[in-house]
Structure 1
Amino acid sequence: MDNKITKGISKSLSYILRHSPETIKLKLDENGWAEVDELIARFDLYDLKLDFELLEYVVEHNDKKRFAFNADKTKIRANQGHSISIELDLDEGEPPSYLYHGTVEKFLPDIKAQGLQKMSRQHVHLSADKETAIKVGGRRGRPIILIINSKAMNKAGYKFYLSANNVWLTAVVPAEYITF
């Protein structure tokens, strides 16, 4: 498969399934699921065409495992990262003692003052390993890795959820739980 094409489709799917399904007049249910046949029929962005085999390839080979099919592959959704209101039906879980968040230097003053905020998304995204946080932070420049005392947060009553692609999610991370 052409990496440029699959990357373009992955980015388009992320935008559609996480932020703007109306771009292609796609309907998502309350849990963020879209009918695969409807997605394929309506997907025509930036001269990118989609068929089931290509969609399946993108879902299975996406390095961040951003998407999931239902059991019979008739529906698809993004695993997390939505700015639209959906219910992912995630189970609350006990996080490891420390989690990580990748960012860049220009955001540090706000993070030090306000902690990590979900901004336009439904959750703050955290990684169980530094390598993933480095990749995430490196998308916008030289990465800065923040260490989150998730054990103390959890003990204080903050809830954590683990997405299908192993991203830890929480509503907010107060600054006092962050090591800069």
Structure 2
Amino acid sequence: MLNHTAEVSLSKFMTKLLRHTPAEYGLLLDPEDGSCLLEDLQRVIHAAPKWAGITEEDIRQVVRNSEKQRFAIEEDRIKARYGHSHAKLAYEPGVPPEVLYHGTHQAALPSIFKEGLLPMGRQYVHLSEGLHFASLAGSRRGKLILLAVDTVKAVHLGVTFYYAGNEVWLSEPVPPACIALREEP
């Protein structure tokens, strides 16, 4: 069983492998859903000297304990649910709740209110059904600002939304007219 520090470190490495630079490590992901065999991921992880002793149960522990639920294991396959920068995976369009949330920081607001929400190096804009995930994402770079996205208006303006699982929604760029500061309850 991994301690918390090792778990966080392995999670970051798995994120790199499954979301950003799989080819750099010789990991082939399914072009449809971004998954690979769990044993293939474990083999690639083992190739890094720091992780030579990692077991399948260690990988499963990271998946279970990931606060943002970044990964999913289905049968003998594992994938990152969202956040890919290496390839644009196909998701089924869905009908989101009327309001989704996006966490950001103060310095980003002028750009967001001028240009809208953009993927910023990712394939999609990341939104969440609840405030918890939006807060986690937005608090990384400074004072947290929560934005509310009017999805009804966004769909009317041509934005497509995709459900990535675990309260996370992905979308094409969201126009400024659909974005507001979240009012405190």
Q: Same fold (TM over 0.5)?
A: yes
Structure 2 CA distance for aligned equivalents of residues 121 and 166 of structure 1 = 18
1:60 aligns with 2:61: no
- Structure 1 position 22, deviation (Å): 2.4
1:124 aligns with 2:125: yes
- Structure 1 position 129, deviation (Å): 1.5
- Structure 1 position 76, deviation (Å): 0.9
Calculate the TM-score normalised by the size of structure 2: 0.88
45, 50, 53: which one aligns with 1:47 = 50
Matches within 5 A, 1:67-106: 67-70=71-74, 72=75, 74-88=76-90, 90-106=91-107
Give per-residue Cα distances to partners, 1:62-94, cap 9 Å, x unaligned: 111111112x2x221100110111424x22211
35, 38, 43: which one aligns with 1:36 = 38
Question: Structure 1 residues 157, 130: CA separation in 2 closer, same or farther (over 3 Å shift)?
Answer: same
Q: Which runs of 5+ in 1 are unaligned?
A: none
Question: Structure 1 residues 101, 116: CA separation in 2 closer, same or farther (over 3 Å shift)?
Answer: same
Q: Which residue does 1:155 correspond to in 2?
A: 156
Say if 1:102 and 1:143, in contact at 8 Å, map to a contact too.
Answer: yes
Say if 1:105 and 1:144, in contact at 8 Å, map to a contact too.
Answer: yes
Calculate the TM-score normalised by the size of structure 1: 0.91
Question: Structure 1 residues 154, 130: CA separation in 2 closer, same or farther (over 3 Å shift)?
Answer: same
Q: Which runs of 5+ in 2 are unaligned?
A: none
